[in-house]
Amino acid sequence: MLGQVLVNGLLQGGFYACIGVSFSIVFGIMKIINLAQGTQVILGAYITYAASHLLGLDPFFTLPLSIIGLFILGYMIQKYLINLVAKGGLIITSLLTFGLNLILINIALLIWKADFRGTNPWYMGMSFEVAGVTIPYVRLLIFVIAILFTIVLELFFRKTETGNSIRATALNPKAAQLMGIDIGKTYCLTFAISSALGGAMGTLFILAKPISPFTGGDFLIILFSVAILGGLGSIPGALLAGIVLGMVESFSTMFFGIAFQNVVLNLVFILILIFLPTGFMGKRFYG
Amino acid sequence: MDTSSLLRIQNLHAGYGDVPVLWDIFLKVDRRKIIGLLGGNGAGKTTLLNVISGIISPMKGRVHFLEEDITFSNPTRRVQMGITQIPEGRLLFYGLTVKQNLRLGAFTRKDKASLEKGLDAIFQLFPRLAERKDQLAGTLSGGEQQMCAIGRGLMSRPKLLLIDELSWGLAPLVVDHIMVALKKVYEEMELSMILVEQDVQLGLEFSHRAYVLETGRIVKEGRSEDIIKDPDIRKSYLGI
């Protein structure tokens, strides 16, 4: 029983870590709170839904479509909306992403209506058993891909020149400009990467659960919790935080029932804010 | 046309928003020359450097570099053309290592293959940086930070180096050490410099020509050795 709860928490945690990272990089690098990120995840899921139903593709293989689609959307949003008001500060950009969230939800409503929609791949519901613990294939796949994406992103930021230029821009925008780094483009790229990662997570999510245009709102508490608990902009921190939250959710479901899942998550979020405001891996040289 | 001139600024007015800070600036930098840009706090020295770097757009006037009009070119283009600024307060990327800082200095360079050679040259100039190349820049001492900032600036292979308040917050001995290195750079690499200094004595000793700024206007210009003898300058800035 305990083993099953731990494995459930771990598998869910990998997914939380990755959507948390997608939110956290925009927060940490640009000081922008993207309140539309949950809905962007859902848009990725809808791309998978549409492609698998219209083209008959296996939902898993629509991953490149949701990544590319959301990358382009994210780039456009930053270039033609957020960059124009970026100097206005946190409140202005938050209002903008709040409004954007409503628009995206309503576009999804227009196209797909308020019904729940899901995919039903042939491997759905199949699982294997290790030492009495049941592991569904889909859940394991989601976990592995989410962790893989998180690691690749971390390597991109640490090892590539483009990644370093994004970090440099976060650390000191003026100095970055003096090095010849185009700040506007860097911001577009950062937002596009965040959106693309969110879109990929949407594809993974709809593999396991059906979605409606409002499902994105449920992610917000997770996004904030992972970003704050992990330390803003810290990818290893977000990875750890995602798994912790997955565990919290899994254990609270066992002890208090599924109805209290969100209550416990919100409670944990408040406790984080009070006792660990800089998170697990908040950085000394940030801010 | 005067082909020895690298940078020409004519009739320049600039400021922040609607507030003018610089009036009617004429300034010329020849090849292989060090220019001192001197004056007290709030005289507009840093603003002028930021206009040359393209961070601030001028309200009026023209800026030419290598006979090309760059008045409205963006900062990226200017770094590519060979104008690099080493900003006041160094502005290193504190959360990145010394080596990553230096590499970012070469961000606009296309010949990435010769980057390692550039790094070696910087490490030869400042052996202290070589010892600390994998350390975060935020953990360096003030003098080492300034070395790192200079190294980062040199990595772009500039033709014109703009150095803002090199002596800021450093012990005189450290300033001397860095000045010796800078002199070496000047002799080995074929570049010009604009040296912004509040330490007027230092600025005059190190430059060929100098401009003195007061509340946004150039009040004096000429050969540094003449300006250092000027009774007004001696009285106002050198306290003699």
Is A283's pLDDT higher than 70?
no
Residue A125 domain-assigned (yes or no) = yes
Q: Provide the shortest C-alpha distance from residue B138 to chain A (in Å).
A: 7
Is B221's pLDDT higher than 90?
yes
pLDDT of residue B3: 61
Q: What are phi and psi of B146, to 5 degrees?
A: -65, -40
Q: Is A56 helix (H, G, I), strand (E, B) or coil?
A: coil
Interface probe for A, chosen from B46, B88, B107, B156 (most Cβ of A below 10 Å), is: B107
Q: Look-up: residue for tokens 């959710």?
A: A249
Distance CA A84, CA A226 (A): 28
Residue A285 domain-assigned (yes or no) = no
pLDDT of residue B198: 85
Closest residue by Cα to residue A223 from A200, A183, A194: A194
Structure tokens at A150: 């998180």
Residue A281 domain-assigned (yes or no) = no
Interchain contact, B104 vs A179, CB within 8 Å: yes
Interchain contact, A164 vs B104, CB within 8 Å: yes
Q: What are phi and psi of A81, to 5 degrees?
A: -120, -65
pLDDT in tens, A229-279: 888 878 889 999 999 999 999 999 888 888 888 888 888 888 888 888 777
In DSSP terms, B210 is beta-bridged to B36, B222
Q: Provide the shortest C-alpha distance from residue B95 to chain A (in Å).
A: 5
Residue range B117-128: average pLDDT?
Answer: 94
Is A103's pLDDT higher than 50?
yes
- The one-character DSSP state at B22 is E
Q: Is B156 helix (H, G, I), strand (E, B) or coil?
A: coil
The H-or-E segment that residue B122 falls in is helix B115-125
- Domain total for chain A? 1
Interchain contact, A171 vs B84, CB within 8 Å: no
Which bin fits A279, alpha (ψ -120 to 50), beta or left (φ > 0)?
A: left
pLDDT of residue A286: 45
pLDDT above 70 as % of chain B: 98
- Alpha carbon B143 to its chain centroid, in Å, reads 17
pLDDT above 90 as % of chain B: 80
Neighbour tally for A192: CB within 10 Å? 20
Q: Mean pLDDT across chain A, nearest whole number?
A: 91
Q: Are A239 and A230 within 8 A, CB to CB?
A: yes
Is A282's pLDDT higher than 70?
no
Residue range B104-118: average pLDDT?
Answer: 89
Q: List the domain range (segments joined by +) for residue A89.
A: 2-275
Residue A130 domain-assigned (yes or no) = yes
> Which among A171, A180, A182 has CB closest to B96?
A171
Q: Provide the shortest C-alpha distance from residue A167 to chain B (in Å).
A: 8
Interchain contact, A285 vs B94, CB within 8 Å: yes
Residue A129 domain-assigned (yes or no) = yes
Q: Provide the shortest C-alpha distance from residue B26 to chain A (in Å).
A: 23
Q: Look-up: residue for tokens 């502005």?
A: B91
| Strands of the B192-197 sheet, one edge to the other | B83-86, B160-164, B192-197, B34-38, B209-214, B217-223
Residue A287 domain-assigned (yes or no) = no
Distances (CA, A) of B89 to B46, B93, B144, B169, B235: 12, 12, 13, 8, 28
pLDDT of residue A122: 84
CATH number at residue A138: 1.10.3470
Distance CA B112, CA B104 (A): 11
ipTM of the complex: 0.91
pLDDT in tens, A176-197: 999 999 999 999 999 999 999 9
Residue A283 domain-assigned (yes or no) = no
pLDDT of residue B1: 47
- All residues of chain B having their beta carbon less than 8 Å from the beta carbon of residue A174 are 55, 87, 91
Residue A284 domain-assigned (yes or no) = no
pLDDT of residue B2: 53
pLDDT in tens, B34-86: 999 998 888 999 999 999 999 999 999 999 999 999 999 999 999 999 999 99
Q: Are B176 and B169 within 8 A, CB to CB?
A: no
pLDDT of residue A285: 46
Q: Does B46 touch chain A (CB under 8 A)?
A: no
Residue A146: is it exposed, middle or buried by C-beta count within 10 angstroms (0-12/13-18/19+)? buried
The residue of chain B nearest to residue A284, with distances taken between CA atoms, is B95
pLDDT of residue A259: 83
Residue range B134-149: average pLDDT?
Answer: 94
- All residues of chain B having their beta carbon less than 8 Å from the beta carbon of residue A286 are 95
Q: Provide the shortest C-alpha distance from residue A281 to chain B (in Å).
A: 13
CB pairs under 8 A between A and B: 70
